[in-house]
Amino acid sequence: MSELIKIAVDAMGGDGSPKKIIDGIILNHQSNKKNFFKIFGDKKKISEIITSKISNDFYEIIHTENKVESTDSPLEGAKRGKDTSMWLAIQSVKNKETDIVISAGNTGALLVISKLNLRMIQNIDKPALSALWPNKIGMSVVLDLGANIECSSKNLFDFSIMGASLFTSLYPGEKPNVALLNIGSEELKGNEIIKETYQILHEKKSVNYNFAGYIEGNQLMNGDVNVIVSDGFTGNVALKTAEGTANFITSELKEAMTGSILGKISSFLNIANLKKFKKRLDPRLYNGAIFIGLDSPVVKSHGGTDFVGFSNSLDVCHRIVKGNLIEKIKQNI
């Protein structure tokens, strides 16, 4: 079945694995019959869940009982050997047996093992961790989210190209607006590296994206910018702040709507709007961070998400491969 997109799945990473992972595969397969899953993990446990749910034309199980633990340091994860489910899954994409690899396991170990197995795309110095964020209009790509604490202006320029390539892979036909995350929108604001990057992006015009200058933290959700670029330290702080704020708003609203008789009546009358609001902030819809800059795509699903979130990250995998992300980066760089 050469026409199928082949996804290597680390079935043993993340909370509730392998059941959560396999349930996510089953859910994804119900809506998309164009993926083939090469599943790495404990064959007995996986078979008990997947048997009769999906035709074996759409999956293969590669048995291993060894896995990277969530408590491992990145180095400890890598030292567990080449027979862990994570290592074998990454190796399969290295050997071109699969098109893309996904894991819900240890993030640090995934980055290290990926870098040990996969080569960098030519002319890119550092890979970046990127993800999709909701905005008022649609979605934005944000990077780097923690892979690189310190970055040069060249790194940030590369991130801009990679982020724009990712956006056009996921949303074909749309030309993204790229901006640098900064403490102000004026040209003189920010540190020297940010200002240098601004000049490079301003001078190097591209047919693949529009450079929109700086963007401040309070504008991230406006929808005017599709690709938001920062170093890993700033990006990670912004990500955690946004997640915490969304959780705070959701929990406070829930308490206000269920804490009194008046609140319960109000919530009943506004049930449709509340469901729409809850769905918009549901982190499962945006699950799946992408480790880009390597010559094969690596996707990190959130370890704490459920099978619905994992299924959504498999959809991201499909769109990345179908959108020829790696080729787009190579052409644009």
pLDDT 10s digits, 222-232: 889 999 999 99
pLDDT 10s digits, 311-324: 999 999 999 999 88
- Picking from 303, 307, 310, 233, the residue whose alpha carbon sits closest to that of residue 71 is 303
Structural contact between residues 307 and 24, judged by C-beta atoms closer than 8 angstroms: yes
Q: Answer whether residue 190 shows pLDDT above 90.
A: no
pLDDT 10s digits, 214-224: 999 888 888 89
Q: Answer whether residue 2 shows pLDDT above 90.
A: no
User: Which domains are delineated in the chain?
Assistant: 1-124+293-333 (3.40.718.10), 125-292 (3.40.718.10)
- How does residue 278 score in pLDDT terms, banded at 50, 70 and 90? low
Structure-derived torsion over alpha carbons of residues 146, 101, 156, 303, reported in degrees to the nearest 10: -20
Round to whole Å and give the CA distance between 37 and 168. 25
Q: What are phi and psi of 303, to 5 degrees?
A: -60, -30
Chain centre to alpha carbon of residue 33: 22
Q: Which structure tokens are listed for 115?
A: 């870098």
Q: Output 192 or 284, whichever has higher pLDDT.
A: 192
pLDDT 10s digits, 75-103: 999 999 899 999 999 999 999 999 999 99
Q: What are phi and psi of 203, to 5 degrees?
A: -85, -35
- How does residue 244 score in pLDDT terms, banded at 50, 70 and 90? confident
Look at residue 147 in the predicted model and tell me its pLDDT.
87
Q: Answer whether residue 64 shows pLDDT above 70.
A: yes
Q: Answer whether residue 139 shows pLDDT above 70.
A: yes
Mean pLDDT across the chain: 88
Kindly report the pTM of this predicted structure.
0.86
Look at residue 291 in the predicted model and tell me its pLDDT.
92
End-to-end Cα separation, the chain, in angstroms? 32
Q: Among 16-20, 54-58, 142-146, 268-272, whose mean pLDDT is lowest?
A: 268-272
- Picking from 77, 116, 68, the residue whose alpha carbon sits closest to that of residue 94 is 116
Q: Output 47 or 134, whichever has higher pLDDT.
A: 47
pLDDT 10s digits, 286-313: 677 899 999 999 999 988 888 999 999 9
pLDDT 10s digits, 11-40: 999 889 999 999 999 999 999 999 999 999
Please state, for a pLDDT cut of 90, what percent of the chain lies above it.
Answer: 59
Q: Output 285 or 180, whichever has higher pLDDT.
A: 180
The number of beta carbons lying within 10 Å of the beta carbon of residue 267 is 16
- How does residue 262 score in pLDDT terms, banded at 50, 70 and 90? low
Amino acid at position 270, single letter: N
- How does residue 142 score in pLDDT terms, banded at 50, 70 and 90? very high
Residue carrying structure tokens 């591209």: 206
Look at residue 1 in the predicted model and tell me its pLDDT.
47
